[in-house]
Structure 1
Amino acid sequence: MRRSILVAGAIAVALGALVLWGPAVPVLIPSEPSPGAGAVAVAAEHPFAIGDAQSARDQLAGLSIVSGWSPADYDRDAFGEAWFDLDGNGCSTRNDILARDLLEVTLREDGCRVATGTLIDPYDGSVTDFVAGPDTSPAVQIDHVVALAWAWRHGADAWSDEQRIAFANDPGNLVAASAATNQAKSDESPAEWLPGDLDFACRFTIAWVGIVETYGLGVSTAEAETIRQVLEGC
């Protein structure tokens, strides 16, 4: 009975989000180097540019069912140095993603650090002018589509350090987003948080499920049922 109540509650949250979805917003997904990207290597394909609903439904059906709880507290340091240069191109992962996702990019003298650019937030279409600096850089953040804390609770706590570093810096799990969006999304799954636009909420969920499947993570029973219902509407 308790499990049924939990599942019903989770479904209600997702369906409530569906009701609250607003009008469609334009979402730009760069697929080519931004003008002026210079020496920064363009990262792998944007995670929201691939996938389809039926494939995501099939992937979801094959995921392991887990509790969504870890006996060890989540620690960001368990995923290694933030924005570690995993591909060895001499640029931090953060700068790789900024160069990929921003428009009208300019670089600093080192040819690596992004100095300025324009973000069109993939989640809500809002526009943010990026200017590098201690007070201005935080306006544009790098979001993990599948959040590190969520991954920790769903299987990443048992990974090796190398696996966690790879996951934290995988461009296929990273997008530039506004500070407001990144903080609102936090470490939640599509069972708990969805973008406001219906079409993009589907795109987000499809990408999210694909990443979870790729890395062999699991979902709870309630999450699986709620996400399945979201995908059925795509």
Structure 2
Amino acid sequence: MRRLLLFLLPAALVGALLVAVQAPASATPPNIPSAGTARTRLGELTVAAESHASTYDRSLFPHWITVSGTCNTREMVLKRDGTNVSTDSACYPTSGSWYSPYDGATWTAPADVDIDHMVPLAEAWASGAWAWTTAHRQDFANDLGGPQLWAVTDNVNQAKGDKDPAEWQPSRTAFRCTYARAWVQVKWYYDLTVDSAEKSALTSMLNTC
């Protein structure tokens, strides 16, 4: 798989991540390419119809895994992308706030926040992840090093579901450029395919940048 080792977090880097999340949160995951780079990478993606959708099972993408101590991936994203986040001994947030860039809402209860997979698991499966090992799918579902995991309003995440950008886009039009840049990066990094309608939608979104 293309460039697999660049963003994955080996155990040696976990300590550095724990330090990093103490910095002021930006509510933006790392490694989002520029619009120009995203356009280039979109052009490099293989265009193909989705397949194997009927064999998808969410359990084939193990998450949320323990990252460090008592903290799992969801809790790490809440710490990374929240503001003034405090946690208890089990790593569950006891205070803080979270800005959802998809709809512009801010929440103070972690229960109101979902962690969205930018490229949904079912979408990834039908775009090539059906051929991956379970370990590789686990890496994808828990990727803290790229723009795959976003803290967003729970019902917005549920409305998105497994839809690609031809079927669903954030209600905040000002965010659609960033959304497309992040989506393309994840697809490119994991060497996943795009279908023709998806590519057309992403092209239009990148043209708003």
Please tell me the TM-score bracket, short chain as reference.
Answer: 0.7 to 0.9
Give yes or no for the alignment of 1:107 onto 2:87. Answer: yes
Taking structure 2 as the reference length, the TM-score comes to: 0.81
Measure how far apart 1:69 and its partner are. 2.3
Name which one, 1 or 2, has greater alpha-carbon Rg. 1
What residue in structure 2 maps to residue 170 of structure 1?
Answer: 143
Gapped regions of structure 2 (runs ≥ 5): 1-16
Q: Report if aligned partners of 2:29, 2:81 keep a CA contact under 8 Å in 1.
A: no
Matched letter for residue 191 of structure 1: A
Deviation at 1:116, TM superposition (A): 2.5
Written as runs of structure 1 = structure 2, the 5 A alignment for 1:23-62 is 40=18, 42=20, 46-47=28-29, 50-62=32-44
Q: Within 2, Cα distance between the matches of 1:54 and 1:190?
A: 19
Aligned-pair identity in percent equals 37
Tell me the equivalent position of 1:230: 205
Q: Aligned to 1:47, what secondary structure does the other structure show?
A: coil
1:84 aligns with 2:59: no
Alignment of 1:113-192 (within 5 A): 113-130=92-109, 137=111, 139-171=112-144, 172=146, 173-192=148-167
**Residue 42 of structure 1: how far off its partner (Å):** 4.3
Partner of 1:193: 168
Match of 1:215 in 2: 190
Flag the 1:71–1:227 CA change in 2: closer, same or farther, 3 A: closer
Aligned length: 186
TM-score under structure 1 length normalisation: 0.73
- State the shift of 1:73 in Å: 2.1
Contact (CA 8 Å) 1:56, 1:206: kept in 2 or not? Answer: yes
In structure 1, list runs of 5 or more residues that go unmatched: 1-38, 132-136
Inter-partner Cα distance in structure 2 for 1:55 and 1:125: 26
- 1:212 deviates by 0.5
Equivalent-residue separation in structure 1 for 2:52 and 2:151 (angstroms): 28
Deviations 1:117-159 (A, max 9, x none): 211111111121215xxxxx2x211111111111011101110
